[in-house]
Amino acid sequence: MDRLGAMPEPLREEAGPANGHRAHAVHQPPHSHHPPHAHAPGSAGAHSGRSLGEALGPALLQHCDGRLRDLAWFRSSWQRGGAATGFGRWRTDDGAEREVMIKLPVGPDEYRWTTDLAPPPTPGSAGSDHPTPAVFASGTSLAGYDLAWLIMERLEGHTLNQGWCRQSLEDLLMAAARMQACAIRAAPVSGRPNEFDWDRLLHRARDLIRESVLPEAHHWSESVRKVQKVLPFLAKRWAARPIDSWCHGDLHPGNAMWRGKSPDTTRACVLIDLALVHPGHWVEDAVYLERQFWGRPEALFGVHPVSQLARYRRDFGLRTDGDYGALANLRRVLIAACAPVWIDGEGHPKYLHAALETIDRLLPQIAR
């Protein structure tokens, strides 16, 4: 089995108000009746996540009516603000105990999709091969505060970054297809995604190229200028794509873990971050994953994420009609041309060179 060592940090498509994912309209969980001005202790950042958990832990234990015990809070490197994460044990209906993870507060989109996609826990199972964590308990208020929380199955081990191999990649794409299938069963695709302001981003890219010591700066300036010349055509084509899927929005190996302790055929890949699920076209997830490896194509092991995700979608009865290859090329060029704007996360010379090559190779194909 092919393997590689340490994985790169995930790339991000973040550009403030123009971000096409993090700016989604807020989904308010239903049946939420809370004091209008109640805020959780530490929600303004005055306390650490651990102190927030310790402050609200007794109320959570009381709310769970004896099912939750051995609650222990910790602070992890990926948390922001005053969010709290903890571990504990949960007593199921059949009297068995399960290791669980507690998260609070949880954003509205993550709350919605984590609870909507969670299979009901059954005796002896915490989600089977389901691609998202099983949820044992959840709520949108606690101790009188307007605050969403989750008690989910605890997944052991590390993310897929560790021991990354061809099988990991294929399992991650299978989990993405399964998640898309589960999501469309949970809720028909509706609404429009907030689009990137491509014109503003490309102007910003040209400014940054002039102001910085970007490798291959002249090449970058010429390539972005060529994209700008045909941008109205490209942006119109992208905006007209079918909105036919719920996309994960942040698909990369660091957002997936294994359910099961041994790396055999019975283990299942679980997507652990559903905060950026949004309506879109399914190729967005495939291209987002693919471009994590533009600077390290060997880490794709010859797998083409777009065609592989299409194959798995068909296995689940999902549509893959239309020229999705051309649509993927369109997305690749638009994202590649914006790489200088996201240089904090995408500034590695190998990645930037690969982005340039992507523009040069694909722009002639899609600009006609």
Question: Is the model more confident about 274 or about 9?
Answer: 274
pLDDT of residue 225: 98
Question: Using CA atoms, how far apart are residues 81 and 46, in angstroms rounded to an integer?
Answer: 9
pLDDT of residue 212: 84
Which residue in this structure is represented by tokens 């060529």?
A: 226
Residue 47 has pLDDT above 60, yes or no: no
pTM: 0.86
Residue 145 has pLDDT above 90, yes or no: yes
Nearest Cα to 338, choosing from 17, 11, 13? Answer: 13
Strand 268-271 relative to strand 145-153, pairing: unpaired
Mean pLDDT, residues 259-265: 61
Residue 36 has pLDDT above 50, yes or no: no
Mean pLDDT, residues 45-55: 70
Q: Average the pLDDT over each of 58-62, 85-89, 204-208, 210-214 and give the range with the smallest value.
A: 210-214
pLDDT of residue 37: 35
By the 8 A CB rule, do 4 and 175 touch?
no
Nearest Cα to 125, choosing from 151, 92, 78? Answer: 92
Cβ-based neighbours of 120, under 8 Å, separated by 6 or more: none
Residue 161 has pLDDT above 60, yes or no: yes
pLDDT confidence tier of residue 130, bands split at 50, 70 and 90 = confident
DSSP 169-191: HHHHHHHHHHHHHHHHHHS---S
Residue 43 has pLDDT above 50, yes or no: no
pLDDT of residue 19: 33
Question: Using CA atoms, how far apart are residues 72 and 60, in angstroms rounded to an integer?
Answer: 12
pLDDT of residue 261: 60
> Environment class of residue 40 by beta-carbon count within 10 Å: exposed (0-12), middle (13-18) or buried (19+)?
buried
Residue 294 has pLDDT above 80, yes or no: yes
When the pLDDT of each residue in the chain is averaged and rounded to a whole number, the result is 85
Helix, strand, coil % over all residues of the chain, rounded to 5: 40, 15, 45
Dihedral sign from CA coordinates of 106, 107, 108, 109: negative
Residue 300 C-alpha from the chain's centroid:
19
pLDDT of residue 41: 59
By the 8 A CB rule, do 327 and 281 touch?
yes
pLDDT of residue 346: 60
Residue 260 has pLDDT above 80, yes or no: no
pLDDT confidence tier of residue 348, bands split at 50, 70 and 90 = confident
pLDDT of residue 156: 87
Mean pLDDT, residues 58-74: 95
Residue 9 has pLDDT above 70, yes or no: no
In the chain, pLDDT over 70 holds for what percent of residues?
Answer: 79
Question: Is the model more confident about 345 or about 291?
Answer: 291
Residue 249 has pLDDT above 60, yes or no: yes
Contacts within 8 Å (CB) and 24+ apart, 80-86: 81/45, 81/49, 82/40, 82/42, 82/43, 82/44, 82/45, 82/46, 82/47, 82/48, 82/49, 82/52, 83/49, 83/52, 84/49, 84/50, 84/52, 84/53, 84/56, 85/49, 85/53, 86/53, 86/57
Taking phi first (over 0 means left), then psi (-120 to 50 degrees means alpha), and beta for anything else, what does residue 301 get? left
Residue 91 C-alpha from the chain's centroid:
30
Residue 59 has pLDDT above 80, yes or no: yes
Mean pLDDT, residues 331-350: 87
Question: Is the model more confident about 221 or about 212?
Answer: 221
By the 8 A CB rule, do 84 and 73 touch?
yes
